[in-house]
Amino acid sequence: MKALRCCNSRKALSLPLRYEGAYRAPSSAFVIFGCLALLITTSITQFTIKQLSAYLISTLGSYFYGQVPFEISNLHMLSYLDLSYNYDPDTREKFLQLKNPSLKTLVLNLTRLEVLDFSCINISSEVPGLLSNFTSLRLLLLKDCELHGAFPTKNFHLPNLQVLILQFNENLSGHFLEFHDRSTLLELLLGHTGFFGRLPSSIDKLDSLKILDITGCNFSRAIPHSLGKLAKITELRLRKNNFIGPIPSSFQNLTQLTFLNLNRHKITGSIPPWLGNLTKIEFLDLSENKLEGPIPQSVYKLMNLDDLKLGFNNLSGFLEFDMFLNMKSLTHLHLSWNYFSLVFGKTNTNATRSKFKLLGLSFCNLIEFPNFIGYQNELEWLDLAGNKIYGQIPKWMLNTSVDTLMALIIRSNFLTGFN
Ligand SMILES: *[C@@H]1O[C@H](CO)[C@@H](O)[C@H](O)[C@H]1NC(C)=O
Ligand SMILES: *[C@@H]1O[C@H](CO)[C@@H](O)[C@H](O)[C@H]1NC(C)=O
Ligand SMILES: *[C@@H]1O[C@H](CO)[C@@H](O)[C@H](O)[C@H]1NC(C)=O
Ligand SMILES: *[C@@H]1O[C@H](CO)[C@@H](O)[C@H](O)[C@H]1NC(C)=O
Ligand SMILES: *[C@@H]1O[C@H](CO)[C@@H](O)[C@H](O)[C@H]1NC(C)=O
Ligand SMILES: *[C@@H]1O[C@H](CO)[C@@H](O)[C@H](O)[C@H]1NC(C)=O
Ligand SMILES: *[C@@H]1O[C@H](CO)[C@@H](O)[C@H](O)[C@H]1NC(C)=O
Ligand SMILES: *[C@@H]1O[C@H](CO)[C@@H](O)[C@H](O)[C@H]1NC(C)=O
Ligand SMILES: *[C@@H]1O[C@H](CO)[C@@H](O)[C@H](O)[C@H]1NC(C)=O
Ligand SMILES: *[C@@H]1O[C@H](CO)[C@@H](O)[C@H](O)[C@H]1NC(C)=O
């Protein structure tokens, strides 16, 4: 009991605790003055607590710290256990830890759990395989728990699992075996872990999936064609792995996609014209790959696209920049380090339609400062380095973004000063 204390005992705090049995107050919130520790006494555990959440408290600015009390392991009826985010968001210091009992011991008898959220608790152990017996589990949230070892693959096959979050456990490894049964998973977030191997083509069994995040893992080989069969996918966060080969043509069926990040792979081939059919897309990052050829005209039809990153590829061809100026949602555009020849219209009638915040046009073979920049008034970051711009910087250039601009990069040109 001494271990779990509340930092601020003066606040009246509301916990969504529900009781059955002697203390029947099923729908009302239970108000405590002070610490969760007062609740988790041996006397309270004789009631059938079904929900226990300390998250609410941490969102109110009070935190629990110390060891998660052993008594929680006696709450056999528990279906909802949330002790997440008892941490300092600035220093990322975790206030709660799970050492004695360990995660495995604590949950051993909590087999009715539907929701388990221990995000930002220092667990520092492996993920127990026994969780695969928790057939009611819908949400398993273990973000940033300092987990290590290999994630037991059978835990992927929990029959009712909808959300699995293991992000930011850099020493947690794991890989996918084949998926045999259809799955209820909606969100599978593994970013910034040590998961590796290939994405099996049976990944299409996860046919409810909406979000897949494997950012910064170590997956390799080709992106399986079958990923394009997950028609409900809205976010594919695949950044920074080692995928090779082209963007699968099956992705043209992912019409619900709003977010596609393929940054930093070894993806080859050209940008497919059918990208223009993914009309809901808001974020598209294909930078730092080996793509070549032109940008297909259809891309300019993506009117919801807010952020387009194509830098650091081998793309080429004439680019009529005015096409970008007609994309009314576009605020971030990164074209740097390719082999484009940019062409700017002489009259920028529609120039004020686009409100750029970020513009990366370094190494784009520019020979003068593009006119339209003078019409921008929300620019924060402008990179024109490594072009062939001669002479003086015209006054108009910074006319309008003077209040917002934080970075202006114009090195490696042939500039002689301000006009
Ligand atoms: C789990 O339940 C078994 C049988 O009821 C009991 O012997 C054991 O002590 C319990 N373990 C924990 C960690 O509560
Ligand atoms: C988590 O616990 C481990 C082992 O007890 C410890 O070495 C580590 O410093 C802790 N991490 C944090 C962020 O407190
Ligand atoms: C899962 O439950 C089965 C049957 O109750 C049991 O035999 C098995 O040991 C359990 N597995 C784990 C990992 O606890
Ligand atoms: C991961 O492992 C490395 C090497 O063993 C260690 O230095 C690092 O602190 C670990 N990180 C975490 C978050 O546990
Ligand atoms: C990633 O996987 C490759 C093999 O596919 C291996 O050589 C490399 O060491 C791995 N990198 C990390 C950081 O684990
Ligand atoms: C797109 O989906 C349709 C219908 O499921 C299918 O017939 C077609 O082959 C798919 N296209 C690609 C390129 O996978
Ligand atoms: C993409 O859209 C164009 C025009 O709307 C249409 O002709 C074409 O069939 C579409 N392609 C796919 C793969 O849906
Ligand atoms: C990119 O294109 C240039 C010029 O066409 C070529 O020299 C270079 O090998 C290409 N790089 C890659 C990685 O394909
Ligand atoms: C300006 O925008 C209108 C529609 O908003 C479009 O029809 C026209 O082609 C655009 N003009 C230029 C020069 O891009
Ligand atoms: C920049 O400001 C000058 C002086 O206020 C004005 O004459 C010029 O039209 C402005 N240029 C642009 C592109 O807005």
Atom number in ligand 3 closest to CA 130: 13
Q: How many domains does the chain have?
A: 1
Q: Using a 6 Å CB cutoff, which residues line ligand 8?
A: 290, 314
The reply to whether ligand 5 has any atom less than 6 angstroms from the CB of 14 is no
Distance (Å, rounded) from C-alpha 268 to C-alpha 301?
23
Domain assignment present for residue 316? The answer is yes
Q: What is the mean pLDDT of residues 29-51?
A: 45
According to DSSP, residue 175 is labeled -
Domain containing residue 391: 269-419
The DSSP element (H or E) to which 55 belongs, if any, is helix 55-59
Assess contact for 171 and 151: CB atoms under 8 A. Answer: no
Q: Which of 407, 404, 360, 406 is nearest to 386 (CA)?
A: 360
Q: Which ligand is nearest to the CA of 45?
A: 1
Contact indicator for 111, 81 with CB cutoff of 8 Å: no
> Of the ligands numbered here, which is closest to the C-alpha atom of 169?
4
pLDDT band at 58 (very low <50, low <70, confident <90, very high): low
The predicted-structure confidence for 281-296, as pLDDT tens digits, reads as follows 999 999 999 999 999 9
What distance in angstroms lies between residue 252's CA and the mean position of ligand 7's atoms? Answer: 9
406 is a domain residue: yes
Q: Note whether residue 194 is domain-resident.
A: no
Q: Which of 122, 125, 168 to mutate to test the pocket of ligand 2 (most atoms within 8 A of CB)?
A: 122
Supply the pTM of this predicted model: 0.86
Q: Give the CATH number of the domain where residue 280 resides.
A: 3.80.10.10
279 domain-assigned: yes
C-beta separation of 296 from 275 below 8 A:
yes
Atom from ligand 5 closest to the CA of residue 218 = 1
Cβ of 197 less than 6 Å from ligand 5: no
Whether residue 124 has its Cβ less than 6 Å from ligand 2: yes
* Residue 108 pLDDT: 93
How far apart, in whole angstroms, are the C-alpha atoms of residue 69 and residue 50?
17
Q: Please tell me if the CB atom of residue 41 comes closer than 6 angstroms to any atom of ligand 9.
A: no
| 62 compared with 126, residue with greater pLDDT | 126
Question: Residues 347-393: pLDDT tens digits?
Answer: 555 556 778 999 999 999 999 888 888 888 899 999 999 999 988 88
* Nearest CA among 287, 251, 245, 248 for reference residue 267: 245
Asked if residue 338 is part of any domain, the answer here is yes
pLDDT digits (tens, 9 = 90+) for 138-162: 999 999 999 999 999 989 989 999 9
Tell the residue nearest (CA) to atom 1 of ligand 7: 277
* Residue 25 scores a pLDDT above 80: no
Residue with CA closest to ligand 10 atom 13:
374
Tell me the best of 346, 347, 396 to mutate to test the pocket of ligand 10, counting ligand atoms within 8 Å of each CB and taking the most.
396
- The answer to whether 36 touches 66, Cβ cutoff 8 Å, is no
Q: Give me the mean pLDDT over the 95-108 stretch.
A: 91
Q: Is the CB of 220 under 6 A from ligand 5?
A: yes
Spell out a b/e string for 306-331, using b for 16 or more CB atoms within 10 Å of the CB, else e. bbbbbbbbebeeebebbebbebeebb
Mean pLDDT over the full length of the chain: 84
pLDDT tens column, 220-269: 999 999 999 999 999 999 999 999 999 999 999 999 999 999 999 999 99
State percent of the chain over pLDDT 70: 82
Mean pLDDT of the region 397-401:
73
Does residue 101 have a cis bond before it (omega within 30 degrees)? yes
Binding-site residues, ligand 6, Cβ < 6 A: 228, 249-250, 252-253
Q: What is residue 380's predicted lDDT score, i.e. its pLDDT?
A: 94
Q: Name the least confident of 35-39, 51-55, 131-135, 376-380.
A: 35-39
Query: pLDDT band at residue 401, thresholds of 50, 70 and 90?
Result: confident
What is the structure's pLDDT at 411?
A: 87
Give the whole-angstrom CA distance, residue 377 versus residue 217: 38
Domain assignment of residue 218, yes or no: no
Structural domain contains residue 370: yes
Asked, for residue 25, whether it belongs to a domain, the answer is no
When pLDDT is cut at 50, 70 and 90, the band that residue 27 belongs to is very low
